[in-house]
Amino acid sequence: MLALPPICWKDPCNLEKSYPIRMIVRPLYRFLRLRFIVFVAVTVSSAIAPFAAIAAVSKPDHVITIQANNGLILAPKEDKTWYEQGIWPVAGATLALIITNSITVGVVYLQSSRSFNALLRQRKIERYAASLNDFYNPLLALMDMNKEIFEETGPPSFPQDEISRNAAGLVWKQTKKKILANNIEIETILRTKTHLLGETDSLESYQRLLVHVAMYETFQRVETDLYRAFLFPADIRSHVVDQRLAVLEIYHQLTGEQI
């Protein structure tokens, strides 16, 4: 009885797709949180320190003026406007410091947010580019190549007369090797690149294709009618085309290019 190599069809896409984003979000989130805490601490300490100093030092009602020849005299305290008396000068300076630090925090946050969004956008572009270049494009090209080789040189193209049929069989024997080599590449893609599937794609859609390419080589060595149960899935190409177009559309939206 033929045995296929074990295949795990548990969908890893959610983990694989979110992992690169977590690699970006977590460090940037920690960095922004640390910057915010530092600025808040500086602002609060700057605001509290003057009031603590005012509470610790009592304000005299008179000012002592020392003159070299006339000795010590008491000079009356100068009259000042309300905003120059008491805690108002310190309060004004503290308020200005708070506003300045708040503006600084806001500017740093906006700059960090823009940098984060730009980096996240670039990571998404790279991810969708890899999905096209490493999964959908080569998979579609390999399937189309196999289809053309089979239709042009395979059994459906054999002539009726025996001599020509034998010659076509010899050609098919050689061209079939290319199909087998392409099947190995298809199987490798389906085993190693499924983390690049589109958001609306799934592993289950490629199960029949993987079984077909795995069994095709076996049926080349053993002639049996069982191969009819493992024929190439007729709807797989249209599925790949649709998923590729969906990924390509998102890629062009991110890059600002037109399809």
**pLDDT one-digit tens code per residue, 60-90:** 555 555 555 555 555 555 666 655 566 667 7
- Residue 240's pLDDT is 96
- Token pair belonging to 142: 């390999």
Q: Quick one: DSSP state of residue 135?
A: I
The per-residue pLDDT for 99 is 83
pTM of the prediction? 0.59
For residue 147, the model assigns a pLDDT of 94
Closest by CA position to 130, among listed 203, 186, 189, 182:
189
Q: Is the CB of residue 196 less than 8 Å from the CB of residue 13?
A: no
Q: Which among 214, 219, 211 is positioned nearest to 236, based on CA atoms? A: 211
Which residue positions in the chain have pLDDT lower than 70?
1-36, 38-88, 257-259
Which pLDDT score is estimated for 101?
A: 78
pLDDT at position 235, please?
A: 93
pLDDT one-digit tens code per residue, 190-213: 999 999 999 999 999 999 999 999
Q: Which residues, other chains included, contact 25 with Cβ-Cβ below 8 Å and sequence gap of 6+?
A: 120
Phi, psi (5° rounding) for residue 80? Answer: -130, 160
pLDDT of residue 187: 94
